Amino acid sequence: MLLVGVVGEGAARGAMLRRLACLGVRRVEAAADLAWDADRPAIVAVDGGEAGSFDCAALPQLVIGACGAASSVATADVWATAAGADSLFASRLVPFERNLRTGQRAPRRQAAVLVGPDPAWPGQAARLIERLQAAAGAAALRIDHVGSTSVAGLPAKDVVDIQIVVDSLASARGVADAARRAGFVRPQGAWFGEDRFGRHYPEEVAVDADPGRPANVNVRPADAPVWRDVLRLRDWLRAHEAERDAYLALKRSLAGRPDNHVDRYGTDKMPWIRAALARAAEAGA
């Protein structure tokens, strides 16, 4: 089941809900009345009221803004007119529901392509974090927007990175599973995070089922140092323009290679990242 919220001015919101209903989307007044079932093939639209009033505790995986004003853009993941509902339904809602139900990650570009910086990234991350917090509950000790999209002014791949810290690897598995309720799926494989000394620590990962918002969620135990290094690097880049510029130069060089697969791109950044973390530690950051 894919649960979406529809917010916006009354007439526009009503038109959007009616159009979605015509396309086969079930409409409900309150998500709290639903028995959420990830394996059930359905798209359910919830009337979220005026923009800004949607209750994210209802765990919508996507919020649609109906003809919203620019001042309300942070409230929704996507804005559309009722006439645009057909395209939104076909290009995003249907594949999102299918991916979520079958546990498949959304297709993603395999080459490292830098874009931005996009001022919308922090708001998009905040909405994902709110959903993940509601899905994970008390098991999430903290959730942060990390990676290049969390550093203002830094071009990046258009992938939002989220880090969740939990008390143990067993909790990490539970939270990665629970992330399905927030619109994410667990990819197959064993996953590890690397600290500033090059040591690897097991973790769990969830990725986007939504084809419209690429995102990675790394779920890390509190006793592994990786999560602290990730935050230290983010804060170091935010605070030091010269470091940010040097990192960008490296990223552009790696992304500009003929062989710029995202896996190699990520691996080849690590020597610079380890050195930057050493500089941050020496500076007491």
Query: Domain segments of the chain: what residues?
Result: 2-102, 121-282
Q: Per-residue pLDDT averaged across 86-92, rounded?
A: 97
Instruction: DSSP for 174-221, please give it.
Output: HHHHHGGGGTEEPPSS-EEEE-TTS-EEEEEEEEE--TTS-EEEEEEE
Evaluate whether 43 touches 62 at the Cβ level (below 8 Å): no
Length of the chain: 285
d(C-alpha 259, C-alpha 265), whole Å: 9
Tokens 């526009």 label which residue? 12
pLDDT at 68 exceeding the cut of 60: no
CA angle 24-60-161, nearest 5°? 125
pLDDT at residue 70, rounded to an integer: 47
Name the pLDDT band for 49 (thresholds 50, 70, 90): confident
Of 164, 168, 166, 148, nearest to 156 by C-alpha is 148
> Using 50, 70 and 90 to split pLDDT, how confident is the model at 3?
very high
Q: Is 3.90.1010.10 the CATH number for 121-282? A: no
Query: Is residue 95 a contact partner of residue 211, using CB atoms and an 8 Å limit?
Result: yes
Give the pLDDT of residue 32: 64
Place 9 in a pLDDT band, splitting at 50, 70 and 90.
Answer: confident
How far apart (Å, rounded) are the C-alpha atoms in residues 163 and 161?
Answer: 7
239-269 pLDDT, tens digit per residue, is 999 999 999 999 999 999 998 899 999 999 9
Number of C-alpha atoms within 13 angstroms, CB side, residue 61?
Answer: 32
Q: What is the share, in percent, of the chain residues with pLDDT greater than 70? A: 95
pLDDT for the residue 33: 65
